[in-house]
Structure 1
């Protein structure tokens, strides 16, 4: 299953709030994607297709081969997060794939 991983320093408040924004985006676009949130230390051990989080947190992640990473400048602006998701090559491929299935 496709997965988006939302990362913050402790894996509690910030990543949970962002996860809710991302889940709303996934539901609105009728995508079959699982969304999880975690702390920065655990992120390297969780398989995902897309990782997003605050820019300063993402910069601390170990390099992820073949995984798109979105460093967010503004983690509370829902419209900005939505825009970043729509700009994602990974999300775009999911949207195209979904349209091709219909």
Structure 2
């Protein structure tokens, strides 16, 4: 099963919103995956296949083995969907 984590500064704001959007996309596409939300200080990036985060934190996580999806516009669900499906298809 694919493991996904959404990451933000505190783990309660944008990461929770991205987690919700990601789960909605996965459900609509009938893709089974686990989706967690985390703060930048607690995340263990190498435990995940895909990391979804804002540009602010993507550079901090760049050394991870996981595929990183960099989000600039939190409300652009179409961009998230395209990037997420592309990342899943590479797995």
Q: TM exceeds 0.5?
A: yes
CA contact (8 A) 2:45 2:64 kept: no
Q: CA RMSD in A?
A: 1.8
Gaps of 5+ in 1: 95-102
Question: Could you tell me how far apart the structure 1 residues matched to 2:89 and 2:42 are?
Answer: 27
Contact 1:53–1:75 (8 Å) recurs in 2: no
1:59 and 2:59 matched: yes
Instruction: Specify the alignment match of 1:82 in structure 2.
Output: 81
After superposition, the Cα gap between the structure-2 partners of 1:62 and 1:44, relative to the gap in structure 1 and judged at 3 Å, is farther
Q: Which structure 2 residue ranges, 5 or more long, are not aligned?
A: none
Cα shift readout 1:49-92 (whole Å, capped 9, x = no counterpart): 10011011111226112x1111112122212211221332xx11
User: In the alignment, does 2:28 pair up with 1:31?
Assistant: no
State whether residues 62 and 68 of structure 2, in contact with CA within 8 Å, keep that contact through their aligned partners in structure 1. no
Q: CA deviation at 1:12?
A: 0.4
Q: Give the secondary-structure state (helix, strand or coil) at the position aligned to 2:69.
A: strand
TM-score by length of structure 2 reads 0.87
TM-score (norm. length: structure 1): 0.78
Q: 1 or 2, which has the higher helix percentage?
A: 1
